[in-house]
Structure 1
Amino acid sequence: MKMTQFVIVGLGRFGSSIGRELVLLGNEVLGVDRDEEKVQELSSVLTHTVVADATEEEVLRSVGARNFDCGIVAIGDDIQASILAAILLKELGVKKVVAKAVSELHGRVLERLGVDRVIYPERDMGVRLAHQLVSPNLLDYIEISKKYTIAEMEVPSCLTGKSLANVNPRGRYGCSVVAINKPKGMIIAPNADDVLTEKDVMVVIGTNEQIEQFQNSIRR
């Protein structure tokens, strides 16, 4: 797999978490922050770190930001700095720009600037946790768009021993089981004859409404 190069602007909790994981996944990561202490803390973790103000065009030019495959704006506490950094990364020609937003308005501004993907960490985590709290079978819940969701659901006792043909989530609710994680391994694209057991985890994709209907039908 080709190593991808990332530049992360802002090394707070969000930016440092992304950076650590990207390095673990075998990628090259440059971290940029004005806070010398944060930069020093990650200097032995990330590929490169720089103490600099990423809202200045010359700074981003000097670190070669335009040569990176993806720029991540992880600034959360300074909306003006976040917007300026995103603008500069886009103008410098970074192939893909991802930015953290702290509010809907902040996100809309970033989208209008042409940011390729806007992330709302606090909001998205809140949505996922709420769904997990009200649905005992739900292990994870990820919105892949405003309409579609991927959910991981623990198989309840009411479905144990039943085949996917018996459960028929697509026919009854419109959602599809695209994988089953069994103790012995993952089954990708399971067929109608695959039988569910109590320790299985179903990976289901569908609209938000379809997923909710399926959840309600199997709720303990």
Structure 2
Amino acid sequence: MNRLIYIFFFFFYTTIYANSELYESDLYYLEENEVLLYKVLNWWSTKSQENSIEFCFNNLRVRSNKTLNLDYDRKAKILKIYLKEEFASLVSIFENKSTYLKTDYLNRSYFKSLKPKNIKRIDMISLNNISFSEYKKIKSMKKNLAFELEGKIAGLLAYTGQVSLHKSGDFLRTCPNNSKEKFDISFKLLNIKTKEILVKYNKKN
């Protein structure tokens, strides 16, 4: 009996810990309301919801909730800003390997000589031609830096179970065609304390 009680509490607390770790890694917002996205996706994937379009075209925003890491090469003047964990793992933004996000905005108050560069991943950005003084400035605000991804929901993918921000793919839950809906995607590095955007990338759809 004692063994059964121990096993029950072990799995109970392990489940809570696992879910809290998932929740802590990324913050998900549907139309400005914070949600546990994995629960939303689990509900949407059930057979009883096979005709549901409740979340179609909703705005989805994901913000990293763990401290970003900085790696600066003073000789090459390259600053890498990254997460050790996968970012926005419940979301699909690249429909194929040739898809990329294009630089849309560079904050010249922080990066005077930084040149635009396309990116194909959202867990790390590499910034070239960064002076040591610029790096020190970024380092001083490290605890306030975050990645933020934003787009509109286009459906639920069949094999990965991810929510899709693009219109192409093998869908388990497909959103209706609507020519007026634009599925633009934006990805930012921002200071969550001052609300400043340091770098912004986007993809127009």
> TM-score interval w.r.t. the shorter chain?
under 0.3
Question: Would you tell me which structure has more helix in proportion to its own residues?
Answer: 1
Between the two structures, name the one with larger relative contact order (CA 8 Å, sep ≥ 6): 2
Output the TM-score relative to the length of structure 2.
0.19
Question: Would you tell me which structure has more strand in proportion to its own residues?
Answer: 2
Output the TM-score relative to the length of structure 1.
0.18
